[in-house]
């Protein structure tokens, strides 16, 4: 991956309970990922914002402030939704997205097409690591939702909380590394 690429981790709605996900993944990725900065946390001054429009605006502002030519976004749950929505707008700095437990549907609400319809035409390379037993869309997500060819859905043996254990996180980190290796030439041209 090109040095002009930085990484950004977008929080999910259950932060800080799921802070371990960011920690578990980052500590298993190669050195080049360790220079990432959580720009969105800094932009929001540590506050988690539930409002989708405010989160999208905060991401756009964080991307505008980022010095790197392009950004690899790691999105946790609703953070992945925010990242894919902004990417679907055609934001030029988003090189790729790694979604960690995408919220395809809310388990206690009727179907909301706004959660998924943009994924059908998403041009940004996206890896979704989805739990097979995820109450927000599990193993059936691959057939239940129309995903663009740019979206790779990888189903892993867990639920929405991504409690994977050491071996599971090692496998997840390897999956992310494989995905990023496929992007090396593409990202270098951005």
Q: Does a structural domain hold residue 145?
A: yes
Q: 52-65 and 78-88 are packed helices; what angle lies between their axes, rounded to 10 degrees?
A: 70
Q: Does a structural domain hold residue 190?
A: no
Question: How far apart are alpha carbons 25 and 171 in whole angstroms?
Answer: 10
Summarised one tens digit per residue, pLDDT across range 53-104 is: 888 998 898 888 877 678 888 898 999 999 999 999 999 999 999 999 999 9
pLDDT at 190: 38
Q: How many structural domains compose the chain?
A: 1
Q: Does a structural domain hold residue 31?
A: yes
Cα angle vertex 142, ends 141, 144, to 5°? 55
Question: How far apart are alpha carbons 158 and 134 in whole angstroms?
Answer: 7
pLDDT at 98: 93
- Provide the CATH number for the domain around residue 110: 3.40.50.1820
Task: With beta carbons less than 8 A apart as the criterion, state whether 94 and 71 touch.
Answer: yes
Summarised one tens digit per residue, pLDDT across range 124-178 is: 999 999 999 999 998 888 788 999 999 999 999 999 988 888 888 888 888 988 8
Pick the more confident residue, 27 or 72. 72
Whether the pLDDT of residue 1 is over 80: the answer is no
* Residue range of the domain that includes 12: 5-185
pLDDT at 34: 45
């Amino acid at each position: 991956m090109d040095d002009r690429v930085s990484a950004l981790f977008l929080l999910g709605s259950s932060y800080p309970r799921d802070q371990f996900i960011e920690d578990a993944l980052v500590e298993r990725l190669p050195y080049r990922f360790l220079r990432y900065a959580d720009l969105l946390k800094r932009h929001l001054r540590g506050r988690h914002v539930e409002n989708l429009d405010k989160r999208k605006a905060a991401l756009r502002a964080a991307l505008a402030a980022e010095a790197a030519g392009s950004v690899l976004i790691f999105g946790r749950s609703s953070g992945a939704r925010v990242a894919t929505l902004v990417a679907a707008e055609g934001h030029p700095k988003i090189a790729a997205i790694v979604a960690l437990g995408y919220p395809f549907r809310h388990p206690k609400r009727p179907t909301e097409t706004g959660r998924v319809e943009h994924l059908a035409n998403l041009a940004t390379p996206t890896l979704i690591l989805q739990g097979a037993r995820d109450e927000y869309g599990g193993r059936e997500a691959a057939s239940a939702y129309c995903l663009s060819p740019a979206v790779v859905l990888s189903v892993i043996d867990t639920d929405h909380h991504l409690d994977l254990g050491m071996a599971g996180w090692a496998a997840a980190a390897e999956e992310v590394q494989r995905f990023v290796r496929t992007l090396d030439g593409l990202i270098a041209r951005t």
